[in-house]
Amino acid sequence: MKILLLGSGGREHAIARALSQDPELSELLIAPGNPATAALGTNIELDILDPEAVAAVAQREQVDLVVVGPEAPLVAGVADAVREAGIAVFGPGGQAAQLEGSKAFAKEVMQLAGVPTAEARVCTTLDEAAAALDEFGAPHVVKDDGLAGGKGVVVTSDRAEALAHAEACLAKPDGQIVIEDYLDGPEVSLFCVCDGVNVLPLEPAQDFKRAYDGDEGLNTGGMGAYSPLPWAPADLSKEVVETVARPVVDEMARRGTPFIGLLYCGLALTSRGLRVVEFNVRFGDPETQSVLARLRTPLAQLLYAAAIGELPDQLEWSDEAAVTVVLAASGYPASPKLGDPITGLDEAEQVEGAHVIHAGTALKDGELVSAGGRVLATVGLGKDIDAARARAYEAMSHIKLDGSHHRSDIAANVARLQAGQADQQTG
């Protein structure tokens, strides 16, 4: 199978790594890719936001499948163009991608499909926003309606900060925001592979969005993740499929815009039950780095099956746990410093049960340098979360990048919880 994968971040390196382990894969093209994906296939130049250009390359290269990594090409209609060219594509069309492209659209679909989510108000003026903030009270949740590159959501108890974010979003052309009731409880990311009709959940993961230990600092794209979730209810995935993913997939099919691709259900397990925080229409980053490291079902075959409407009934998983720790550039997330040399990757890769995923890296005069806010991640696999995180952190200890930072508490609480449970069983 020949595959064209679109994207260049850590998620795409993790996807490329899993695709290249599938014996059915014969050739992998990545557009534009990064220095690490170049070792797994061929990086090619292509404007991935141009639907016709992507379809033309897919045809010229006679690929069997296109896998779209990020959300922006999906919202731009890349999957529609590839499908119209008669090529299988893993990723929803532009209409279905509005589940991520517009928070207001996602709320409308959830309401029609009876999916549990926070109460919300769609606002187009500052007066409406102020009224909605007062109606729901603190903590305030203000979401830019459209795609905002991970900077669209502000959660704060400071009303002035909430209002300032609302004002900034509303100042954009056709600016619209969604203000919601705050959802308490732990958050979970559950990725569902969908073929337009059927839904197959991957194993749940949790990510860490704040920049610093103890959930301090600004929101980021994600500073780490782990999977599985030993503390989560055993029937969580089943409940999410029944109450969230399948109703949404049914509603999208009913509208004539079937959802084919990855439905990322961002959930809060609140004291009042499970609620949807957000949908994304692509794999999450960095959760994918942990989830795909544990998937035993060959990924190329799985994504192709979804793309042609023949999703299998079940998946195979490793019994091991996976922990991902992200290394961010100095100044990230506010103003990351780029272009600094990165060393120690070979030593990190030699740590047993660990590997490195590139996100924002580039080659400059033959030297690996930082080229993005989230630079790379280490992924550790182990018999439990504690063993996996020990490997991820050991690998991270070898990597040097001036001024960089990473959290030291990724999955720490859950590792302690697991250790306590083991003590109880043996004691």
Name residues contacting ligand GLY, limited to 364-383 (CB under 6 A): none
Are 295 and 368 contacting, i.e. CB atoms less than 8 angstroms apart? Answer: no
Beta strands 321-328; 367-370: pairing state: unpaired
Q: In whole angstroms, give the CA distance from residue 170 to residue 159.
A: 16
When the beta carbons of 195 and 287 are compared against ligand GLY, the nearer one is 287
| Strand-pair partners of 14 | none
Contact status: 280 vs ligand GLY (CB under 6 A) = yes
CB of 211 to ligand GLY, least distance (A): 13
Taking the CA of residue 382 as centre, how many other CA atoms within 13 Å lie in the half-sphere pointing to its CB?
20
When the beta carbons of 145 and 285 are compared against ligand GLY, the nearer one is 285
Beta strands 27-32; 42-43: pairing state: parallel
When the beta carbons of 33 and 222 are compared against ligand GLY, the nearer one is 222
What is the amino acid identity at position 323? Answer: V
When the beta carbons of 64 and 100 are compared against ligand GLY, the nearer one is 100
Contact status: 284 vs ligand GLY (CB under 6 A) = yes
CB of 232 to ligand GLY, least distance (A): 17
CB of 352 to ligand GLY, least distance (A): 27
Contact status: 12 vs ligand GLY (CB under 6 A) = no
Selected range binding ligand GLY among 116-124, 232-240, 279-287, 336-344, rule: CB under 6 A:
279-287
CB of 222 to ligand GLY, least distance (A): 4
For residues 197 to 216, the per-residue mask of contacts with ligand GLY, x marking binding by CB under 6 A and - elsewhere, is: ----------x---------
Residues 6+ apart with CB under 8 A from 406: 223, 224, 325, 326, 327, 328, 396
CB of 179 to ligand GLY, least distance (A): 20
Question: How many chain residues touch ligand GLY (CB under 6 A)?
Answer: 6
CB of 372 to ligand GLY, least distance (A): 15
Q: In whole angstroms, give the CA distance from residue 258 to residue 104.
A: 19
Contact status: 70 vs ligand GLY (CB under 6 A) = no
Q: In whole angstroms, give the CA distance from residue 175 to residue 129.
A: 12
CB of 285 to ligand GLY, least distance (A): 4
CB of 266 to ligand GLY, least distance (A): 7
Which two three-digit tokens encode residue 10? 């850590």
Contact status: 91 vs ligand GLY (CB under 6 A) = no
CB of 257 to ligand GLY, least distance (A): 22
Q: Which one of residues 285, 327, 336, 387 is an interface residue with ligand GLY (CB under 6 A)? A: 285
When the beta carbons of 224 and 298 are compared against ligand GLY, the nearer one is 224
CB of 12 to ligand GLY, least distance (A): 12
Contact status: 227 vs ligand GLY (CB under 6 A) = no
Selected range binding ligand GLY among 134-142, 277-285, 295-303, 408-416, rule: CB under 6 A:
277-285
Q: Tell me whether the omega of the peptide bond preceding residue 228 falls within 30 degrees of 0, making it cis.
A: yes
When the beta carbons of 97 and 129 are compared against ligand GLY, the nearer one is 97
Contact status: 287 vs ligand GLY (CB under 6 A) = yes
When the beta carbons of 144 and 285 are compared against ligand GLY, the nearer one is 285
Q: Which one of residues 70, 201, 222, 261 is an interface residue with ligand GLY (CB under 6 A)? A: 222
Please report, as ranges, the residues that interact with ligand GLY according to CB under 6 A.
207, 222, 280, 284-285, 287
